[in-house]
Amino acid sequence: MRSSQKTNKVIFFSFLFPAIIVVFLAACGRTAPVPSSLPQGDAAEIDGKSLYSQKCAACHGNDAGGTAFAPGVIGHSAGEVKAQVRNPSGSMPAFPPAQLNDGELDRIAGFIAGLAPAGITVQDWQNQTPETIHYWMALLALNDGDSGAAIHHLQEALAFVRDAPQKAHVEEAMTLVASGDLHGVLHHLAAMAGSNPPDGVTIGLYQLLLAKRGAEAMNGAEVQHRLEHYLSTASGHESEIAREALELAGKGDFHRAAHEIDHLLHM
């Protein structure tokens, strides 16, 4: 999906490994452990893996899959890695040769480029928490240029967030959107969600998933709210099925409503 790929490029590598962490680890004589799950290789590949573990893993994860501080880096080419490190987009600081020489960067970039892409499957995204789904919908809305919808999704996410620091992150994201700082909020939201939105999954599909959960919980108001959002862009046969599900939920037949919604999810 082009909007997902665009988001991925904007936020990719936003916090590779801030210099303050490097200094801290050096002072303490610590390095991040080499993850045993990453592939083995020849001396150059092992060296690249070790360099990644020392200089990148604290933010991007031992398995390169991302952390709360920065997104995953799997799936990027060596050229993309090197360009981002030397001339970064987002809030990541640039790393000149004095901090990371060309040979080291080549080995890190080669190691990352050799990692197998790890996509999010349909089952994975359907099992995500409500707040994560709302973060993804906000990201997609921003890529469509709809900041109002992004704020709406973030406001809905707040209903599911119990942790005070996380609530503060959501409120900060809303402030960034309202101020027009879309560059900053893209990274912020992806870090909160733990990844970019999975390829091929639309806002409409997220609305259907939430509607199905509402039907399973026999929450008529939630089913109505989600299906009305879905119907605002649906057409044809999909629209007919959604209206039927909405009618069934209104009659209290949540089992059949959930079945119809699930049918839409798999069309």
Q: DSSP E strands: which ranges in 20-144? A: none
Nearest to 135 by CA among 209, 179, 197, 180: 197
DSSP classification of residue 195? S
Q: What is the chain's mean pLDDT, rounded? A: 78
- Domain boundary assignment for the chain: 2-113, 122-193, 203-265
Contact call for residues 192 and 135 (beta carbons, < 8 A): yes
Higher pLDDT, 9 or 137: 137
* Same fold flag, 2-113 and 122-193: no
Q: Which fold, 2-113?
A: Cytochrome Bc1 Complex; Chain D, domain 2 (1.10.760)
What local confidence, expressed as pLDDT, does residue 116 receive? Answer: 60
Q: pLDDT tens digits, residue range 118-173?
A: 444 444 788 888 998 999 999 999 888 899 999 999 999 999 888 888 888 889 88
Amino acid (one-letter) located at 69: F
Backbone φ and ψ for 209, nearest 5 degrees, come out as: -60, -45
Q: What are the residues whose beta carbons fall under 8 Å from the beta carbon of 54, sequence distance 6 or more?
A: 25, 31, 32
Considering the domain 122-193, what is its CATH architecture?
Answer: Up-down Bundle (1.20)
Q: pLDDT tens digits, residue range 90-116?
A: 566 788 899 889 999 999 988 888 876
Two tokens at 190? 């992806």
Mapping DSSP to helix (H, G, I), strand (E, B) and coil, where does residue 71 land? strand
Q: Is the entire prediction scored with pTM above 0.75?
A: no
Percent of the chain with pLDDT over 90: 35
Nearest to 64 by CA among 20, 108, 9: 108
Q: Give the separation between CA 75 and CA 113, rounded to whole angstroms.
A: 7
Plot region of 128 (φ>0 → left; ψ -120 to 50 → alpha; else → beta): beta
